[in-house]
A and B are shown apart, each in its own frame.
Chain A
Amino acid sequence: MATLSPTPLPHPSLWRADEAAIPCPPGVPTGHAALDTELPGGGWPPGEMTELLTDCSGHGELSLLLPLLVRSSQNEGWIAWVAPPHIPGIPALASAGLRTPRLLIVRASTTGERAWALRQALRSDACTAVVGWLDHVDTALLRRLQLAVRETTMPLLLFRSAHSAHTASPAALRLQLSAGAPGVLRLDILKRWGRPASRPLHLSLEDSLSPSSGFPVRQQMAGARIGAPPAQALIA
């Protein structure tokens, strides 16, 4: 939130920028209240492209999408993951409540094939959510993806590398993900509808990382229990 001083403005014909009305459709809730308040429409922009720029892994960048994916998996249809960088951990997804048989994984080597697969997934009525990992993509391809996603009502979530933050993109929402404090994901909103965001957002994804959320867990621990204080070192 912008923190301008609340002093009344001197002239009635002057408007403060954050009071300007932005006509935008209601978003798809992200499942993170702090993020929802920052996003115009209160969630992922529907029928638009959202870029998640990140170079790190292991900070909760996938957990950010989990609430959306879990909700999408309740309906019949594929949750398409195009060219994920690693193998998704099915037990972890299942424990978050995702119906894993609806996860469709598409491997594609070239950028062109990835973009093509994403467009097919968007055009067909078969998908309830589409997530893609794209690198070295030019504006023309992004533009075509944007045209494809505008025909739908779901958000397209694209992971791209952090250095593409400096190039222009037609995406409606661009978030830069990086590591914050331990267990905290730092989100910089690079682009959104309406006024720009001034401060980064710190999301604690500790809950979605710990197994206490979702289904009851069968503990099979041989040693110490999960959830020990982070500072404690237990080198065997």
Chain B
Amino acid sequence: MLWLALFFPDWPLQALFRSQKHEAPLAVAARQRLVALDAAALAQGVRPGQGLADALAVAPALLVRTQSTEAEHAALRDAAGCALRYTPQVVLEADGLLLEIAGSARLFGGTEQLLCRLRTDLASAGFHALTACAPTPRAARWLALASPGQCVDDVEDLRATLAALPLRVMEASERIKALLADSGLRSVGEVMRLPRNGLAQRDASEVRRLIDQALGRQPDPRPYFKAPRYFDSRLELPAPRHDADVLLFVANRLLNACCSRLSAAHAGIEHCLLLLEHEHHPATPLALTLGTPSRDARRMILLVREHLARIVLPEAVSAIRLQATDWISLTGRSDDLFGPQTPSPDRRREACSTLLEQLRARLGRDAVYTMSARADHRPECAQRACEPGAAETGYSSGKRPLWLLSPPQLLKLVNGCPWYDGPVQLISGPERIESGWWDSDGSTDPCGKEALRDYFVAVGRNHARLWIYRDHAPPHRWYLHGLFA
């Protein structure tokens, strides 16, 4: 067993101000007292434990939030979601995580590599952690608290390493800690040397149990975190904001956390809902549709960017909430052998649908389409716009122009001949098209009309090749219907 302990320093602060982008003095208060501060606040002279009024007198720009247990739990679950990518055995602590990585370190190229990737993942979701490795969960946790960065592989070395740690790392009750401190004990090593019966007589055998568990002499069972198969997380902005880059930054945090969870569950989503909450207005929903199941945060953030550029917000945004409920299982995929220059068919297909969504997010759904052929003799009915991917291959039917005019352009008559910027000379034809008698005149379909026409290939001014027709119905008008471009 090898346990990796993550400890989030200033957890109340990290959990609440995950969305904060710029450096500003930040603090978290509980019962009118400060419980956590950032470096900027410390530099301005604010101290932990200070009363709220005093702190605000020292640093008027201080941004204070009330400690929220719920927000801390939610943030911890998001962090656990990131960690689940690296091992299925994740334990939640009050302000940290424990990961059993003996089985997966090899897969990720060693403990160092795994740690490096985990740190990047956590950072992209807005967390900063101190880490340590040890053969038992309790020892790992103590090391992370007191001397982060250490990695102890062997149980035999544990005793010497733990002996140097200060007493404050132990999870004993305040009464026992005070008792030990009053006895002049400062380090874990000194407590280790105390006789068992003496500790038991002073009602402090709990300390002994903790040390035995840390040294691996007593069992230390931990319940593993089980992630639900949905994602619903909310991030509050420090202050209501309008600007797209701040909103994007926050959305990015949420999407990264969501995609880590998806990747741990070998799942993807086809759509999700981003709710931009306002103080006085109902939330603005942004529905992201991906087309194909995906867990690529970059792809989603591109879509969010396009949506944000388009929508008008009724008011500044105070919080962002991401809901992704329908998870679809999505297996992993190997990288392409020859790199991105020659993308594999799978990758190409994914890129195709990504492009489609991106264009549609900005230009509108109807502005991006393909053309499908239809078995109809009327040229305007022989093709129609259709959903990309659903188009049918066209087939040729006689001489047809590359450009089709819709609707056909009425040509005026000069001396009884059709005129299009000059006299029009017919060079071949007619090709008679009589079709569509079954379509009534009152149909709403634009091409739902009977066609009785004689088509000609004609030459206009500057030898331009035109496709014109003459209507059978009186007054026998001439129309330009296509260009041989």
Contact = CB atoms under 8 A, between A and B. Distances in A.
A134 B397 CA distance: 32
Interface stretch (B52-60, B73-81, B423-431): B423-431
A100 B371 contact: yes
Interface string A44-81: 00000000000011111111000000000000111000
Nearest to B352: A126
A91 to B, nearest CB: 4
A217 B358 CA distance: 38
A19 interface: no
B347 interface: yes
Interface string B368-393: 11111100010100110100110111
B403 A87 contact: yes
A62 to B, nearest CB: 4
B470 A103 contact: no
Interface in B422-440: 425-432
B351 interface: yes
A183 B427 CA distance: 12
B416 to A, nearest CB: 8
A167 interface: no
Nearest to A92: B400
A100 B402 contact: no
A95 B396 contact: yes
B351 A126 contact: yes
B304 to A, nearest CB: 15
A153 B339 CA distance: 14
A228 interface: yes
Contacts, number: 233
Interface string A101-135: 11111111000010011001100111100000000
B351 A89 contact: no
A127 B355 contact: yes
A204 to B, nearest CB: 12
- If over half of B's interface residues share one DSSP class (helix, strand or loop), that class is named, otherwise mixed; here it is mixed
Given A100-B373, A103-B371, A125-B340, A223 B352 contact: no
Centre residue among B391, B403, B432 by max chain A CB count within 10 A: B403
B193 interface: no
Interface in B462-485: 462-466, 470, 482-485
A191 to B, nearest CB: 23
B239 interface: no
Contacts of B183: none
Nearest to B385: A105
A210 B354 CA distance: 38
B361 to A, nearest CB: 10
A180 B394 CA distance: 31
A235 interface: yes
The interface centre, meaning the residue of A58, A86, A180, A232 with most chain B CB atoms within 10 A of its CB, is A58
Contacts of B432: 222-223
A40 B385 CA distance: 38
Interface residues of B, number: 71
A86 B403 contact: yes
Interface residues of A, number: 73
Nearest to A87: B404
Given A125-B340, A182-B463, A224-B430, A214 B396 contact: yes
A41 interface: no
A180 B464 CA distance: 10
Nearest to B366: A107
* Residue among B404, B429, B463 with max Cβ neighbours from chain A (10 Å): B463
Contact of B402 (A92, A125, A210, A218): A92
Nearest to A205: B484
Given A88-B402, A100-B391, A101-B372, A58 B367 contact: no
A140 interface: no
B457 interface: yes
B397 A91 contact: yes
B367 A106 contact: yes
Given A89-B404, A92-B396, A220-B398, A120 B358 contact: yes
Interface in A162-185: 178-184
A61 B463 CA distance: 13
Contact of A58 (B351, B355, B358, B460): B460
B373 A90 contact: yes
B465 A223 contact: no
A87 B345 CA distance: 29
B484 A60 contact: yes
8 contacts: A60-B485, A76-B348, A88-B403, A100-B372, A113-B362, A125-B347, A125-B348, A225-B428
Nearest 6 pairs of A and B residues by beta carbon: A95-B396, A94-B394, A58-B464, A222-B432, A101-B391, A62-B485
Interface of A: 56-63, 76-78, 85-95, 99-108, 113, 116-117, 120-121, 124-127, 153, 178-184, 209-211, 214-215, 217-230, 232-236
